[in-house]
Chains A and B, each alone.
Chain A
């Protein structure tokens, strides 16, 4: 009986799927909402959704509502490709957003290229194809960026270190993190630092202590980690457990603020492109209120990245006018300035060649005493 119901439901649904109402902007999103990396991407997607809901509640963009179609790909590339196809062909999305692991990029790029629909990366690391000269269809708002992050971090280390720097590196066994740590290692040599060890840690590890042991035995006085948050923070905890007391610097993912407060480690530095919520800017209060009103189960502190993605979508659609198709949206995005209202150090600007941003802003925070303090204010790097 149950099987019959299920079978007939499948039959009914698979054959006659309704088309989306066309009196709204249709924006499709596929993200890692379930699966191992979901703790990084799900809050960003939630924030984006709350932002779009707010925009709709305030009347929408150009008088029309934004219909956000969410799909889950569980960080699986084939599912991401299938979702993209569905969003483009069935839901007729004019803009597709990726909030998932970097392994989903290649298939989504292929699909959107085939259909000529712009692709926005809003939560995963920005691919090289959005740096100048940029691929016409790909755009990226994500805060962290390979190579520039390491440059900024090593500059900070060099400026802050009191003794000659012997630097160790910790990466997760995914190609991007490894590649970045290799790059940082090479860069450190040109900056008069001595790289001592690079640890590459496979993702689902029961105990980080063996890796930390090897890292500690190499004798670094600084350790830099650019990887998903779990690798960074567990490496630090393992090192501290072994009695290593020196400075540790890592990229500030969305979980940074919560963990800085949890660890209370005053030699733990995080490099951020987003302002932390303890700065209590007006935009932060706005986000906190919206999150509370929506009854979200993710803390407001994790929502900066998704909020910026939502801002980008709103600005792009506003510039595209109504009625808008993929070509108009892309044209609008090629000439866009997004005011982040203080969430980043400045506005995000896109032009024909640069779909990343023209300027990068970095801040460094650490825990001190009983709160988070800002150690370095917005430092800019130009993107050539």
Chain B
């Protein structure tokens, strides 16, 4: 399978159930429990600002995971991700505003609109590849944005649509901690869905289509069907992210979904490391936290207030520089760095791993 070999020695898998289990060695079990503990305890220790950052990271990771599924595994380049998020957010906003729909209607509605839009975005992939596919998704993104803008103007929502926080049996979700847990669960669910998809028939089909399409077709895999499936599933997840975004921020407006957002998501999966779900998560965290880190670093400089206006242009430029550095120097992304660190500790005191198989 595509799972890495377990890292503890003296471990033998004796039946299929053990082989298929998500968490196998004792070390993995312990680390999963520790991570859950930390994540659950975080909101009680952190400042509201850090809580907001964490929520943003979780929201971003849902979108990043879906894009990783589409581009990293199925190999379909998509530059129109912001348009899909906008679709989910606008569906939520429109329904909430026009007919006062509660969230258990808007959420499935966002999924449905995501499916439809994903189908439309995916149609070019049946004929185009690589660059041309990317360009077609770009063009579709602009069309979606235009339609959103027209809706906003025609219906008089000049500064955006305000969305009330979701209610469930009288309990209103509007405080930081509540949102943290909701988004954490949403991100965890999308992660589990992605893992399951990749371990199943669809995942294998996508990897085959990505690697060698003619061979995949010869093996009997329905190329068209799986390409469309990749787009549809990916955009469903992205629409859900859009819906959550609308509720979390409390408003929807078309300016939030510009080309730069698409580029940020693509940067997330590339900086994180293509072809790895962990990479999507790391990339999402990196790209979301990066501007704040730059601001803090610049804040350490003396006499900063004088350059106040410049700081933000520096932020912009620094993002470009870091992206370039990652693309040029570290094509495997943050996951590559992570794996190098892991290998260092695993192999210590040896330096190099033997040629006979394992991860790069």
Contact = CB atoms under 8 A, between A and B. Distances in A.
A127 interface: yes
B160 A77 contact: yes
B293 A14 contact: yes
Interface string A1-18: 011101101100111010
Interface in B278-334: 286, 289-290, 292-293, 296-297, 305-306, 308-309, 311-313, 315-316, 322, 325-326, 329-330, 334
Contacts, number: 133
A68 B308 CA distance: 10
A81 B247 CA distance: 13
B336 to A, nearest CB: 9
A10 B286 contact: yes
Contact of B309 (A13, A15, A46): A46
A70 interface: yes
User: Which of B56, B254, B289, B296 is the most central at the interface, judged by chain A CB atoms within 10 Å of its CB?
Assistant: B296
B158 A176 contact: yes
Given A89-B49, A90-B47, A127-B159, A34 B292 contact: no
B225 to A, nearest CB: 36
B334 A3 contact: yes
A160 B161 CA distance: 41
A7 B297 CA distance: 12
Given A10-B290, A81-B249, A3 B48 contact: no
B334 to A, nearest CB: 7
A33 B309 contact: yes
A10 B271 CA distance: 15
Nearest to B317: A34
Given A9-B297, A82-B56, A17 B152 contact: no
Contacts of B156: 175, 179
Nearest to A294: B306
A251 B315 CA distance: 33
A75 interface: yes
Nearest to A296: B309
B124 interface: no
A180 to B, nearest CB: 10
B49 A175 contact: no
B289 A10 contact: yes
Interface stretch (A99-107, A240-248, A310-318, A367-375): A99-107
Nearest to A105: B159
A320 B50 CA distance: 30
A53 B334 CA distance: 42
A50 B296 CA distance: 22
A114 interface: yes
A295 B310 CA distance: 13
Interface of A: 2-4, 6-7, 9-10, 13-15, 17, 33-34, 42, 45-46, 49, 53, 68, 70, 72, 74-78, 81-82, 85-86, 89-90, 101-103, 105-107, 110, 114, 127, 173-176, 178-179, 294-295
Interface of B: 47-50, 52-53, 56, 149, 152-153, 156-162, 174, 245, 249-251, 253-256, 258, 286, 289-290, 292-293, 296-297, 305-306, 308-309, 311-313, 315-316, 322, 325-326, 329-330, 334, 337
